[in-house]
Chain A
Amino acid sequence: MSDLATASTASSPIATIPGVAVVLVLLSALFAMVAPGFLSAANLSNVLVQSTILLMIALPMTLIIMTEGLDLSVGAVLTLASVVLALTVVATGSFILSLATALAVGLAFGVLNGFLVAWMAIPPFVATLGTLGAAQGLALIVSDGQSVVGVPPSIQFIYSGKVSGVPMPIVLGGAAYLFFHILLYHTRFGTYVPALGGNREALKLAGVSDRGMLIAVYGLGGIMAGVAAMLLTARMNAGHPTAALGMEFDAIAAVAVGGTSFERGNGWLFGTLLGVFAVGILRNGLNLMAVPSSAQVACIGVLVILALYIDSLRSSS
């Protein structure tokens, strides 16, 4: 009898095609026609590799937004972690120590965000706007406003290396996605994330510490900013105090394009993956067409509106 019940009500987000999938197909088709070399294997692999930094911060952003929160500081924290990583490796020559420092910087800011939101009851928008300023300012102070150069070229392995022929960023990105999938759908922690956004009172009544959960979620976002900082530093072979400025925009856009709602804990991790690809393809295609970066930001804005418009059409019909 459970078979019967299963068949009748099993629901999948794929059952109706989400806006992000439509947008992804449209974008690919468009660039295949107008952007020279878009469909080449080298370029497609390039899109995947370039998307991984964004993926690293978009995955935890999905969880944060599911708690009805937001992290505006992620781009600045990523930048700060990258600068600190570069400074540490230049000063000490130790990769292990410098990578750990990057993670620690990210974690510290993430926990601070969580503390401000959970204990001080500051709205996430304002709290993380504050830490955005703090992290950005610190990045400029410690680097003296200059690029931190002199990073040993061997760090590039993190970004340009290959494992059994697979580019390192793709390995790391795949591992991160898998980790977040298991975390969100197969652990207690993940079960409580939609509850934080959907009904915090219910979670409290169930005996779960909602504040502790919030700190963990924001803290995770910080750690992942540290991970992204490793990729970014390896990619540039330097630390630059404005390198990831505004990256929170791409991350929030990718999550929104992917169909995660800003209300009631309604999130979709696979949608975020597609959203990251959509943003990545858009940036890549526009780069191939030599569209300036500022105009690319405008295009991402249009992308967000288009994907959400398709979703709203679907839910109203």
Chain B
Amino acid sequence: MSLAHEFTGSAGARLKSGSGNGVPLLELRSISKSFPGVQALDDVSFAVWPGEVHMLLGENGAGKSSLMKVLCGAYTANGGEFYFKGERVEMRGPADARTLGIAVIFQEFSLVPYLDIAQNIFLGREFPGVLPGTIDRQRIRDEARRVLDQIGFDIDPRTPVHKLGIAQQQMVEIAKALSQDARILVMDEPTAALSDREIERLFVIVRKLQADGVAIIYISHRMAEVFELGDRITVLRDGRKVGSVLPSETTPDELVRLMVGRSVDTSYGRHFCEKPGEIVLDVQNATAANGISDVNLTVRSGEIVGLCGLVGSGRTEVARAIFGADRIASGQIHVFGDLRKGAPDVAVRQGLAFIPESRKTQGLALLRSVGDNLLVAGLNKLFPDGVFRKTVARRTADEMVRRLRIATPSTRQIVNFLSGGNQQKVVIGKWLTTGARLFIIDEPTRGIDVGAKAEIFALIDGLVQDGAAVLMISSEQSEIVHVCDRAYVMREGRIVGELAREELTEENILRLGMHHV
């Protein structure tokens, strides 16, 4: 909730033009969408007014994406009606959505990396030049400049998009939407990959758009921003709308209850470590070219130790140095009493496991089966003679699926079709087959819904109860607070503090991790 605190000052002064009064800009009545065997949306009604930020909440699979696709015309609803400014309109495809001024910003950006910002904003709508087929590059730039100014994004429109960070690319997406005269902007978890400072800038822009009378439908996983930005909150579950509430009339707990249909214990039922065991990871004065300097930390068996700080503070870099993915220039790292040196393959033999932050690109072979993914890291251990035995493989994979309670029809299921939470279990399971005893877990719950989070943490809790040790990196401070036995806070590549269990609060983490507080 710390984010919410920080922003309340500006939120109080927010302009709320006509929110909830008068005729809605866009209204959906009893929208249904079904696929063979699946009711993706069931009788969903939903309205958004100009200048309003309408938060859309729901677990994965609740119907948020389907609703978005109906809004942008990618899906045609089976039933229900659309009203624009009170008048019934048809919604048959993307062209209709565009005419109504609806623009969707997906998590996967629709930008071309080796075109510049201006070319991306006007892709497919280039201003013609003098000769047939040519384009007026100067005019494209000037118009792009105008749109960028509108959202206060001060950057040369000739900058190629591949040179931009994710936050800047998002600004370009927003500019692109505005250049098409979007009056209704749909944003899909826009803060998922942003740092706190970038989130702050995004919020400023969202408020500016709001003041200009743009209606914003904002899909979010983060409770803090729901209360921070939202004028109205709609919760979906299993394709149905389970509630539309005002932020002032609800609480985070109530929203979570609405989302999952039951109350979830956000303390995650951790069995905190009373008597930590031996030191299994000992990092001494580690400095590396990847930006970390003079890092000291220890992890004992039976402990979950947090590593927190802002995005870019060097947390992942510490993990990479320990695992041998980046070399350290000076200092020493010991694991289980042995000197840690060499590449990741040596680290695996020493009993380390690294669960990276991006499970889709770094953790899984997405198009291979659950079984293949579970076994890939442990093949050397399972089959030391190099001969692959199917029965052993199947037995090991089946056992892992049972032990981790991975919801999959079989070990032959392609891992891409599993939910985020189950995919993450597969990534963790993959390392259990190596017999690892020290787990470095980077962002264990990114993009995972509330219910699955609890299961992931129960799983990690089980690991340390069995005597393993965990170093956990997370941007979600509340998770660090509720899950870790103690935590280190990083800033600019250095460890700036260690917080014991009693001192572990979000305020303390922020106080240490922020630059000027």
Residue A287, interface by CB 8 Å: no
Q: Which 4 A-B pairs have the closest CB atoms?
A: A206-B124, A202-B110, A198-B112, A9-B156
A264 touches B114 (CB 8 A): yes
A265-B124 in contact given A182-B134, A187-B134 (Cβ < 8 Å): no
Residue A42, interface by CB 8 Å: no
A202: B residues at CB distance < 8 A: 109-112, 123
Contact with B along A1-32 (1 / 0, CB 8 A): 01001101111000000000000000000000
Separation of A8 and B159 alpha carbons in the complex (Å): 10
Separation of A26 and B145 alpha carbons in the complex (Å): 42
A194, A198, A199, A207 interface centre (most CB from chain B within 10 Å) = A199
How many residue pairs bridge A and B at CB < 8 Å? Answer: 78
A8: B residues at CB distance < 8 A: 156
Q: Closest approach, in angstroms, between the C-beta of B177 and any C-beta of chain A?
A: 12
**Size of A's binding interface in residues, CB under 8 A:** 30
Residue B18, interface by CB 8 Å: no
B113: A residues at CB distance < 8 A: 194, 198-199, 264-266
Q: How large is the interface on B (under 10, 10 to 19, 20 to 34, 35 or more residues)?
A: 20 to 34
Residue B208, interface by CB 8 Å: no
* Minimum CB distance partner of A200 in chain B: B112
Residue B249, interface by CB 8 Å: no
Residue A203, interface by CB 8 Å: yes
A203 touches B135 (CB 8 A): no
Contact with A along B147-160 (1 / 0, CB 8 A): 00000001110111
Q: Closest approach, in angstroms, between the C-beta of B122 and any C-beta of chain A?
A: 9
A186 touches B156 (CB 8 A): no
Residue B222, interface by CB 8 Å: no
A198 touches B115 (CB 8 A): yes
B115 touches A10 (CB 8 A): no
A to B CB contacts below 8 Å, 5 in the list: A186-B134, A194-B115, A195-B123, A207-B124, A265-B113
A186: B residues at CB distance < 8 A: 129, 134-135, 137
A11 touches B160 (CB 8 A): yes
* Minimum CB distance partner of A206 in chain B: B124
A191 touches B119 (CB 8 A): yes
* Minimum CB distance partner of A66 in chain B: B114
Q: Closest approach, in angstroms, between the C-beta of A284 and any C-beta of chain B?
A: 32
Separation of A11 and B162 alpha carbons in the complex (Å): 12
A5 touches B155 (CB 8 A): yes
B135 touches A188 (CB 8 A): yes
A5 touches B114 (CB 8 A): no
Which of A11, A188, A201, A266 is within 8 Å of B114, CB to CB? A266
B126: A residues at CB distance < 8 A: 188, 191
Separation of A303 and B312 alpha carbons in the complex (Å): 38
Q: Closest approach, in angstroms, between the C-beta of A255 and any C-beta of chain B?
A: 15
Q: Closest approach, in angstroms, between the C-beta of B449 and any C-beta of chain A?
A: 26
* Minimum CB distance partner of A7 in chain B: B156
Which of B109, B114, B123 is within 8 Å of A206, CB to CB? B123
Separation of A2 and B115 alpha carbons in the complex (Å): 19
B156: A residues at CB distance < 8 A: 5-6, 8-10
Contact with A along B113-132 (1 / 0, CB 8 A): 11100010001111001000
* Minimum CB distance partner of A198 in chain B: B112
A285: B residues at CB distance < 8 A: none
Residue B133, interface by CB 8 Å: yes
Separation of A195 and B122 alpha carbons in the complex (Å): 12
A264: B residues at CB distance < 8 A: 113-114, 162
Please name 11 further chain A to chain B contacts, defined as beta carbons within 8 Å, in addition to the given A10-B158, A194-B115, A199-B110, sorted by A numbering: A9-B155, A9-B159, A186-B134, A188-B126, A188-B133, A191-B123, A191-B135, A199-B113, A264-B114, A264-B162, A267-B114
B135: A residues at CB distance < 8 A: 186-188, 191
A267: B residues at CB distance < 8 A: 114
Separation of A189 and B123 alpha carbons in the complex (Å): 11
A191 touches B115 (CB 8 A): yes
Separation of A205 and B72 alpha carbons in the complex (Å): 11
Residue B247, interface by CB 8 Å: no
> Which residues of A (249-275) have their CB < 8 Å from a CB of B?
264-267
Q: Closest approach, in angstroms, between the C-beta of B105 and any C-beta of chain A?
A: 12
Which of A187, A188, A197, A205 is within 8 Å of B94, CB to CB? A205
A199-B111 in contact given A8-B156, A10-B158, A207-B124 (Cβ < 8 Å): yes
A203-B123 in contact given A9-B155, A266-B114 (Cβ < 8 Å): yes
* Minimum CB distance partner of A201 in chain B: B110
A291: B residues at CB distance < 8 A: none
Residue A208, interface by CB 8 Å: yes
B133 touches A194 (CB 8 A): no
A11-B159 in contact given A187-B135, A191-B135 (Cβ < 8 Å): yes
A205: B residues at CB distance < 8 A: 94, 110
B162: A residues at CB distance < 8 A: 264, 266
A11-B112 in contact given A182-B134, A191-B135, A203-B124 (Cβ < 8 Å): no
* Minimum CB distance partner of B141 in chain A: A2
* Minimum CB distance partner of B161 in chain A: A198
* Minimum CB distance partner of A202 in chain B: B110
A188: B residues at CB distance < 8 A: 126, 133-135
A11: B residues at CB distance < 8 A: 159-160, 163
* Minimum CB distance partner of A183 in chain B: B133
* Minimum CB distance partner of A261 in chain B: B114
* Minimum CB distance partner of B119 in chain A: A191
B134: A residues at CB distance < 8 A: 182, 186-188
Q: Closest approach, in angstroms, between the C-beta of B180 and any C-beta of chain A?
A: 10
* Minimum CB distance partner of A189 in chain B: B133
Which of B115, B129, B137 is within 8 Å of A195, CB to CB? B115
A199: B residues at CB distance < 8 A: 110-113
A198: B residues at CB distance < 8 A: 112-115
B94: A residues at CB distance < 8 A: 205
* Minimum CB distance partner of A208 in chain B: B124
Separation of A10 and B157 alpha carbons in the complex (Å): 10
